[in-house]
Amino acid sequence: MFKRIVLYWVICGSCLAAPEPVERHATQLRVLLQQADAAYYNNGEPIMGDAAYDALRSQYEKLLVDYPELPALSDVGAVVPEDGGPTAHTEPVLSLKKAYSDDEVLAFVKRCGVEQTYCIEPKLDGLTVVLRYQNGLLVQALTRGDGKQGSDVTTAVMASGCVPTRLENAPESMELRGEILMSFSAFEALNERRTKDGLTALKSPRNSAAGTLRLKDLAEIAQRGLQLRIFEVIQIEREVPTHTEALARVSAFGLPVVKSRTFSGAEVLPVLTEMNRLRADSSFPTDGLVIRLDDRTAFKQLGATAKYPRGAIARKYRAVPVETTLLSIEWTTGDTGRLTPVAHFEPVEVDGATLQRASLHSLDHLRALDLMIGDRIEVVRAGGSVPEIIGRTSAPRTGEEKPIDDPE
Ligand code: IVH
């Protein structure tokens, strides 16, 4: 507890009034100085020379002259808090049931009630964190872990600078869930910097966001431009009736929230179409859409299975077809002795994988598709993985196409 109090003093302080860039710079300086202090006094292994240390300290002191509301520097020798190990969640952090087709979403809406109001929002693709605030102060940040227990990442989250550590006019207690994300542009900048420093490039913004919170180097965490979006209010004093109002309430405390819009059960298909289209506009990664009941009481009343809440569902984005050319058909014999046609096509990249073949399931299916060798075809990854030919493109045939031979 003592360590946490010291951390507050050092990291969050009361720097609400300085302009954003100054605040960021100040936070970076403070974490760097704090690390240097800890390395020197706690571990006896300095991470920088005296001159560098003094230069950083005087930089901060100069900032303090112009912005006296910035937190004062701690005395040297402050203890760097170690993040705790596994910590139990107050409520299990469940997954979401996945819907791979619009029909599955329609069935979900029918089960919950077509007359209900729903919310639709992007399924954010980063690292889920559970945040607890008391009297407006961030007291704990946990990862999802196995859903029952998560790792304590409070220090890293504070150092990231993307989670407000002090809220104005917040209630006595509140528990929220959100996603820590790395934008596509922050990811590019990070990899550029790594390449310049002779380090390997990181794989994806998602892995980078998760990896960043595991770093011990607080100054590096502060530099990576992580972002937060709250998507769930678990507990808040003065309950609110809807998810929409819950998000609006935490947003009013200065917390960034996911973009969520309401619709009526009858509108689900056009809304899915529009939200699919908006995917491309997102500045950070998303991997589908979340559809959920807006009414918090109805949501709670529906309860949950061991894995999923019944009042919400995740729709994978509709697969975007990619064009290629059909090269040949190979006939394979399965365990049952049945002949199965397999299409070979010019290699194409679909959702990050290179595809060049797809099963056509049966002779009947092949005939129904009415394909010829040399046809321009459309390929998708059905359910997000299995390659599937959905048909010919609308382009007219050139006359060069060859008929497909029947199996011998
Ligand atoms: S709602 C009880 N909304 O995806 C309601 N979850 O695979 C459950 N996620 O565990 C969550 N974006 O960690 C919700 N807009 C969003 C989300 C979201 C990302 C995460 C969340 C969840 C996981 C399910």
| Three-state DSSP state, 7 | helix
pLDDT tens digits for the chain (408 residues)?
444 444 444 444 433 467 888 888 888 888 888 877 777 766 666 777 776 777 778 888 888 888 888 887 765 444 444 456 789 999 999 999 999 888 999 999 999 999 999 999 999 999 999 999 998 888 999 999 999 999 999 889 988 999 998 898 899 999 999 999 999 999 999 999 999 999 888 888 998 999 999 888 888 899 999 999 999 999 998 889 999 999 999 999 999 999 999 999 999 999 998 898 888 788 999 989 999 999 999 999 999 998 999 999 999 887 778 899 999 999 998 777 888 899 999 999 876 778 999 999 888 888 888 899 999 999 987 765 788 898 899 889 999 999 998 887
- Asked if 334 and 308 count as a contact pair (C-beta separation under 8 A), the reply is no
Give, for ligand 1, the residue of 124, 227, 291 to mutate: max count of ligand atoms closer than 8 Å to Cβ: 124
pLDDT for res 42: 62
95 in ligand 1 pocket by Cβ < 6 Å?
A: yes
**C-beta of 360 in contact with ligand 1 (< 6 A):** no
Pairing of strands 322-333, 339-350: antiparallel
pLDDT at 10: 45
**Residue closest by Cα to atom 13 of ligand 1:** 128
Residues in the chain: 408
Check if the beta carbon of residue 202 is closer than 8 Å to that of residue 182: no
Question: 52-72 b/e with 16+ CB inside 10 Å = b?
Answer: ebeebbeebeebeeeeeebbe
Q: What is the pLDDT of residue 78?
A: 41
The reported pLDDT for the residue numbered 44 is 63
- Ligand 1 touching residue 290 (CB < 6 A): yes
How far is the centre of ligand 1, averaged over its atoms, from the C-alpha of 235 (Å)?
16
In the reported structure, the alpha carbon of residue 350 is separated from the centroid of ligand 1 by a whole-number distance in angstroms of 25
The CB of 176 under 6 Å from ligand 1? The reply is no
* C-beta of 246 in contact with ligand 1 (< 6 A): no
- Span from the CA of 123 to the centroid of ligand 1 (angstroms): 6
> What residue owns the CA closest to ligand 1's atom 2?
309
Nearest ligand 1 atom to the CA of 144 is 13
Q: Where does residue 218 rank: exposed (0-12), middle (13-18), buried (19+ CB within 10 A)?
A: buried
Dihedral sign, Cα of residue 210, residue 216, residue 220, residue 223: positive
Residue 123 CB less than 6 A away from ligand 1: yes
CA angle 215, 221, 224 (to 5 degrees): 125
* Distance (Å, whole) CA 277 – CA 315: 14
Distance separating the N- and C-terminal Cα atoms of the chain? 77
What pLDDT shows up at residue 255? 96
Which 8-state DSSP code applies to residue 101? S
CA 202 to ligand 1 centroid distance, Å = 24
Task: Measure the CA–CA gap between 358 and 19, rounded to whole angstroms.
Answer: 56
Phi, psi of 233, deg, nearest 5? -105, 110
Q: How far is the CA of 95 from the centre of ligand 1 (A)?
A: 7
- Using the atom order of ligand 1, give the atom closest to the CA of residue 177: 13
In angstroms, the Cα distances linking 225 to 103, 186, 283 are 39, 6, 13
Q: What is the pLDDT at residue 59?
A: 81
Question: Can you give the C-alpha Rg of the chain in angstroms?
Answer: 27
Residue pointed to by tokens 């300086």? 29
- Identify each DSSP E strand in 224-352 by its residue range: 226-236, 261-264, 286-293, 312-315, 322-333, 339-350
Active site residue 110: no
Closest CA to 289 of 264, 267, 258: 258
One of 62, 97, 110, 123 is an active-site residue; which one? 123
- Residue ranges and CATH numbers for the domains of the chain are 15-73+319-392 (2.40.50.140), 84-315 (3.30.470.30)
Ligand 1 centroid–CA 289 distance in Å is 10
Whole-angstrom CA distances from 329 to 105, 275, 345, 364, 378 are 35, 37, 9, 14, 16
Is this model's pTM higher than 0.75 or not?
no
Cβ–ligand 1 contact at 179 (below 6 Å)? yes
